[in-house]
Structure 1
Amino acid sequence: MPESHASDWDRRKFLSAAGGLAAAGLGSTSAAGQPKAEQRTVELDNPRIGDPISQTAKAQGGTPQVPGPPPKKLGYCIVGLGKFSVGQILPAFKDAEHARPVALVSGDRAKSEAVADAYDISKKKIYSYDNFDAIADDPDIDVVYIILPNALHAEFTIRAFEAGKHVLCEKPMATSIADCERMIGAGKQAGKKLMIAYRVQYEPFNIKAIEWARNEHYGPIQFITSETVIEIGGPNQWRLDKKLSGGGSLMDIGIYSLNAMRYLTGEEPTHINAMMHQDNSDPRFSDVEQSIIFQLKFPSGILANCTSSYSTATFNRYAVAFRDGWLKLDPATNYTGHRFFHGTPEKEEQLFLKHVSHFAAEMDHLAQCIKDNKPVKTPGEEGLKDVKYMQKIYQAAREGKTVTAG
């Protein structure tokens, strides 16, 4: 998409069709029943810093910790008011310690005003896509959160950098490698941070799975499987328009499986196989693939088998087979309700962790990194890698042969 402010498409049409970005279809699950466990394992978070004075400390003669002032919250401008923004992102600010919503960008003024009223945002801080660049003169905006169809990510990320703002961008980062590189370059030129919203990398169950996988909790990893499936709904949505989405189920939900294989192993794939299918009798899939299966080989020898599909079912899960045991998240990438199972041939257990809002956690992470001038956990380079690998997956499927991932 060109960098100019004008566009070949009507953005208001995009927003009315958006219904949220890639992750929006992952809010429900039809997971299999819980396996019988011989033991329940419970892990609880440590108390939060800044809790009221500890009565125990006082009773024991210790020095009580008096809560200090609350941290300064950085201002977020939300670009795009589809289902995902309104239903997930904006409500999550109530759980954020370092972030707050201060501005909105939308093509629907009436909707913007209703949302502004709900979140105590000034009507003066409602922008349209045409006057988006005026955010440069708004000192309350520190971060711009891009929640638009994939093909628009590059344009608005670059414009946000030109306005002197940091950027949090939904995944996939863009629809082409070239656009990803332009986004990264614009951020470096502006001296601002670019973070891709890989929310599950900030979610406790996935974080614990990463820890166990990389620390070889049950010995070295042998292989991993992952399946991400959603019921896509009707035909009138941007995800089914390749010009806007960049592809079908792979670009939408398959990226969850791809990214999981990379963050669980801590490695980058060397070889890729793939097969894809689209039902030509279904008009929804005349432009994009319905289903795709891909296999990854990693330098250590780990093999991964992944599936993404638009179907009548909805589920998302992954399983890691170690030499001496296994772990499974089912569901793995929901907004809530994660379940962590693990075991050996002798026993099965379930690990319980406290739920944390992934959305608040990732927005807080970026805000803290800005305040402390530290690198972000999921920068633009992370998004670029996934886009490169997805292009390789499509290539392998088209050519019907193994391709090198590099």
Structure 2
Amino acid sequence: MNPRRDFIQKLALSAAALPFAPLYGAPHELDVFGFSGDQSVLRVAIMGLGSYGTRVADAMQSCKRAKLAGVISGTPSKIKNWQKKYNIPEKNCYNYENYDRIKDNPDIDAVYVITPNALHHEAVLRVAAAGKHVICEKPMALNAKEGEEMVAACKKADVKLLVGYRMHFEPNTLELIRMRNEGDFGKIMFFQGLSGFRIGDPNQWRLDKALAGGGSLMDIGIYAINGARYMVGEEPVWVTAQETKTNPVKFKEGVDETIQFQLGFPGGAVASCLSTYNMNYLDRFFLNGEKGFGELQPATGYGPIKGRTHQGPLTEPHVVHQTVQMDEMAGIILDGKKAVVPVDGQEAVKDLKIIDAIYNVCRTGEKQKLEL
């Protein structure tokens, strides 16, 4: 018995359903969660009830605009546990074979896809076809081609596609972006992004190329890629990269252990970044300009995020990232709110194009131009 293989097979079942109009905002006197329709609460089903799905569900208990309304899982025991823990009605529980039926459920507005990377593409297409908004964990897909197909499917179905870029709502991160925009650092010259940790269980899905699509770059390196873009405030125009592998048994073919990569920006800034599954204590962003600097360390962990600039320490209060993320995403979906740093599917496709290019450069050894 192989639960992981069964998981893939179940999720790969194609949906026959045609796109349906989104059902959020339907009038309710009082729904099963005790929220009246005029409070404009985004009702979310979580797909994938693992450790991060649990973290998001727990964080959502403090949300004002987003509430956990349903679950999608291939493990019946997890569904039962979540029903008890979060008071989820039976009619809002689905497995990977029948979740297309959410199209007929007015109590679910959106689905948050929190599954292994290789399963995102098919899940997003099916959720979109069911007429529901989608939030997808990062990386959004295995490559830019898949990502573009996901964006197109959601556009065709007239539903929103957002990606779990929780750092885009983090207060100290946003403070550095504000300072850069106001010229406090002057002309930006350099960014450094260090993202890594020593990964444990060699049998986990993150070290399985078929499920993860790669190794450290897909999992932790994407923070440095995305961070370089929102910290510098420009889109990179070239990339170089080098891969290092010290343990080919644990990190098999196609599963990167350590990658160093460099990005060039049109304003002249350069970025030097490291992604690894073989070193701890690597969670640092450093932004250097002609008039000052900004630093975050830790930069992307669950918090608290800490930092300083040439003007002194950053003092923004710590908030649970996923709570803020889900409330802000509810505002984007329900009210058309704009994020300071985009969190839509197009933003994710840009990261995927850079990932594709980094892997290609590691193979060829040649500098590659980027067109995002």
How is 1:3-402 mapped onto 2 (pairs within 5 angstroms)? Answer: 9-11=5-7, 71-86=39-54, 88-343=55-310, 349-374=312-337, 377-402=342-367
Amino acid at match of 1:396: V
Amino acid at match of 2:221: G
Between the aligned partners of 1:351 and 1:321, the Cα distance in structure 2 is: 16
Q: Give the match's secondary structure for 2:303.
A: coil
Is the contact made by 2:10 and 2:97 (CA closer than 8 Å) also made in structure 1? no
Query: Structure 1: which 5+ residue stretches go unaligned?
Result: 1-6, 16-68
Is the contact made by 1:278 and 1:286 (CA closer than 8 Å) also made in structure 2? no
Does the C-alpha gap of structure 1 residues 76 and 151 become closer, same or farther in structure 2, counting only changes over 3 Å?
A: same
Is the contact made by 1:202 and 1:362 (CA closer than 8 Å) also made in structure 2? yes
Is the contact made by 2:40 and 2:334 (CA closer than 8 Å) also made in structure 1? no
Between the aligned partners of 1:335 and 1:280, the Cα distance in structure 2 is: 28
Amino acid at match of 2:347: E
Is the contact made by 1:200 and 1:206 (CA closer than 8 Å) also made in structure 2? yes
Report the CA distance between 1:156 and its aligned residue: 0.6
TM (norm. structure 1) is 0.80
Amino acid at match of 2:327: D
Give per-residue Cα distances to partners, 1:204-229, cap 9 Å, x unaligned: 01111111223331321111111001
> Could you say which structure has the larger radius of gyration?
1
Q: Which residue of 1 aligns with 2:33?
A: none
Between the aligned partners of 1:243 and 1:375, the Cα distance in structure 2 is: 35
Report the CA distance between 1:368 and its aligned residue: 1.5
Is the contact made by 1:113 and 1:123 (CA closer than 8 Å) also made in structure 2? no
Between the aligned partners of 2:206 and 2:69, the Cα distance in structure 1 is: 28
For structure 1, which segment, 348-357 or 179-188, has the greater mean C-alpha deviation from structure 2 after superposition? 348-357
Does the C-alpha gap of structure 1 residues 252 and 14 become closer, same or farther in structure 2, counting only changes over 3 Å?
A: farther
Report the CA distance between 1:314 and its aligned residue: 3.7
Between the aligned partners of 1:144 and 1:75, the Cα distance in structure 2 is: 9
Q: Give the match's secondary structure for 1:9.
A: helix
Amino acid at match of 1:355: H
Is the contact made by 1:216 and 1:322 (CA closer than 8 Å) also made in structure 2? no
Between the aligned partners of 1:189 and 1:331, the Cα distance in structure 2 is: 39
Is the contact made by 1:95 and 1:357 (CA closer than 8 Å) also made in structure 2? no
Q: Give the match's secondary structure for 1:155.
A: helix
Is the contact made by 1:272 and 1:403 (CA closer than 8 Å) also made in structure 2? yes
Report the CA distance between 1:326 and its aligned residue: 1.4
Select the residue among 354, 369, 372 that pairs with 1:404.
Answer: 369
Report the CA distance between 1:191 and its aligned residue: 0.7
Amino acid at match of 1:151: A
Larger relative contact order, structure 1 or 2 (CA cutoff 8 Å, min sep 6): 1
Report the CA distance between 1:163 and its aligned residue: 0.7
Is the contact made by 1:250 and 1:390 (CA closer than 8 Å) also made in structure 2? yes
Amino acid at match of 1:353: E
Q: Which residue of 2 aligns with 1:19?
A: none
Report the CA distance between 1:337 and its aligned residue: 1.6
Is the contact made by 2:135 and 2:162 (CA closer than 8 Å) also made in structure 1? yes
Count of residue pairs the alignment pairs up? 342
Is the contact made by 1:231 and 1:314 (CA closer than 8 Å) also made in structure 2? no
Amino acid at match of 2:5: W
Amino acid at match of 2:99: F
Report the CA distance between 1:244 and its aligned residue: 1.1
Is the contact made by 1:146 and 1:169 (CA closer than 8 Å) also made in structure 2? yes
Does the C-alpha gap of structure 1 residues 189 and 8 become closer, same or farther in structure 2, counting only changes over 3 Å?
A: farther
Amino acid at match of 1:358: H
* Percentage of matched positions with identical amino acids: 38
Give per-residue Cα distances to partners, 1:87-117, cap 9 Å, x unaligned: x101111221110001001111111111121
Give per-residue Cα distances to partners, 1:223-244, cap 9 Å, x unaligned: 1111001121011111111111
Is the contact made by 2:245 and 2:251 (CA closer than 8 Å) also made in structure 1? no
Amino acid at match of 2:141: A
Between the aligned partners of 2:269 and 2:283, the Cα distance in structure 1 is: 21
Is the contact made by 1:14 and 1:149 (CA closer than 8 Å) also made in structure 2? no
Is the contact made by 2:194 and 2:285 (CA closer than 8 Å) also made in structure 1? yes
Q: Give the match's secondary structure for 1:334.
A: coil
What root-mean-square deviation, in Å, do the aligned CA atoms of Structure 1 and Structure 2 show?
Answer: 2.1
Report the CA distance between 1:350 and its aligned residue: 1.3
Q: Give the match's secondary structure for 1:394.
A: helix
